[in-house]
Amino acid sequence: MNVKISTNRIFHAITIQEAELAANMTEELQDQLRIFLQKDVKNLVVIMKDIQMIDSAAAKELLDIRNCFYDNRASFVLCEPQPAVKKILDQVEQFGAVLIAPSLSEASDLVHLEEMEREMTD
C-alpha cells in the first residue's frame, strides 16, 4: 500500500495513495497505522482524498482501528473522503463514532480539541 506520511508536534498525517481500499488491504493498513501508537505522538489523521472506492469490510476495519486508537487515548480522524467513500462509511453501523473532517485544517482542529479534553480529564 502506498502512503505518504507527514508529522507535526501533535499528529501524524497519513495520505493513502490508492484508488481503492478493499478488505484484503486492511491487514497491511492496520499494521502501518497501529505502529503510531508506540510513538510519542500517537494521534493520527488519515487523508482519504485519493480513495475513490471502499468496501464495507474495509470501512469496518477503519472503525476497529479507530477504537484501538481511542482505547490508547489517541485521536483518529478521517479526512477528505470522496462522496462515494463517505456514502459507504455512513452505511456502516456505529461509524458515527469516527470523526470525519472535510479538510486537514478541520482535522487538525478536532485533534487539538480532543487533546485538550484528555488533558482536562487527567
In angstroms, the Cα distances linking 20 to 9, 49, 52, 102, 109 are: 30, 11, 6, 19, 27
In angstroms, the Cα distances linking 17 to 60, 62, 79, 107 are: 20, 16, 13, 18
Q: d(Cα 20, Cα 9) in Å, to the nearest integer?
A: 30
The yes/no answer on whether domain 3-121 falls in CATH 3.30.750.24 is yes
So what's the pLDDT on residue 27? 84
Is pTM beyond 0.85? Reply is yes
Q: Is residue 96 pLDDT above 90, yes or no?
A: no
pLDDT tens for residues 10-22? 999 999 999 999 9
Domain extents for the chain? 3-121
pLDDT tens for residues 29-84? 888 898 999 999 999 999 999 999 999 899 999 999 999 999 999 999 999 999 99
Q: At what angle do helices 56-71 and 26-34 cross, to 10 degrees?
A: 20
